[in-house]
Structure 1
């Protein structure tokens, strides 16, 4: 098996000469065990590559679904899942000796479950889409006034759904205007992180929003609700909604009461 793996790695890495490649392919055609192991290793490699996670006709991946897939595959969540798969594979590989690998079913199942997760519009996905209201975030650009060019640029990136560029611009603005940060930038930056599924950094931004001690700081819990909706974290979602709906003076009190009945 170890010889197989060395040959397979060399073949898949494109490190074989034309003659070596031809000989290897002939051997794989005659040896069922080698052919099976070659397929396994090719499948495992495809799991690591974003563009190959979903097999078949990629022309069906259009519009919002394609965007969601792209955002997910760039996220820390996807990176963590893929790293876990890799660790399982490496562990089984090192402990298997000459025995046949049996973990392919587990990895394939994970890939299938991820596909279902990404392309199934769950109840939480629908609720998030309904409540996020990206167009209703107050503008940072005021007519007739001189704007911070970096903030203006960042908002335009946000409106064009170029969230990574928006994050970079807003982060630069925040780091260079520590004493006079517009709290709305925490909302824009947090939602940008949320749209690329970087939940940890999104929550950090909403924490900064809450600590800003401005009128906008009262919106922090609502934006946390959006994070938990996107994550599908029912426990934290319910807890935060209860907090908001406990006081009619809280931001989006009515929406919180409405939403808690839907989850």
Structure 2
């Protein structure tokens, strides 16, 4: 079969323009010619890969999907996709030289199909717990005790400075000294202590501190729940993680309510 007839028949086949008799004949030709069959199969795959409208508009609340979708729509990715389309269009033009399907068309189309499969996998793949932890961990969300117009540094300011300087063990010691006598600002100091323990991977002790916060009568009590959830996420304790997230999402006034909803969705 002449090369241009391959292209014309394949195009009509893919568009559904063939009569029943033409379709029967063309299908038989594919059975008789393996190279034609490979050409038609690759053409179908390329057509599917370049028709991204359906999957690109797929609706979901998964934040990981949204991230990859935004990546696919970035200028450099769209520019690369356009170059592939141009190459595909060129491949369908009537060749001036003998047809070189094996040398040019299949490698080019296969590369694009593999790119498409990779993108779809990224869109549908479930992020790991450690990936979620890296996304949602908020150990820098600390209260500030430092007052710019004071000439001396008090104990609370020292706790903050030690934490920011990553001297976590000293920070814990300073926090314990303060908590042994203080009656105010205990929650904020407990946050620094719990954060320092988390940074040192002392997960059990960190959970104990955050539980104290969550069971307090302060306005920041729900912060303890969120920090407990982060520890469960880091240690991959999915059972307690889900329970804690459900507690947080029971009230929209709870700390990190929206993020807790997102995280629950990502775990499904």
TM-score (norm 1): 0.49
If asked which structure has higher relative contact order (CA below 8 Å, sep 6+), I would say: 2
TM-score (norm 2): 0.48
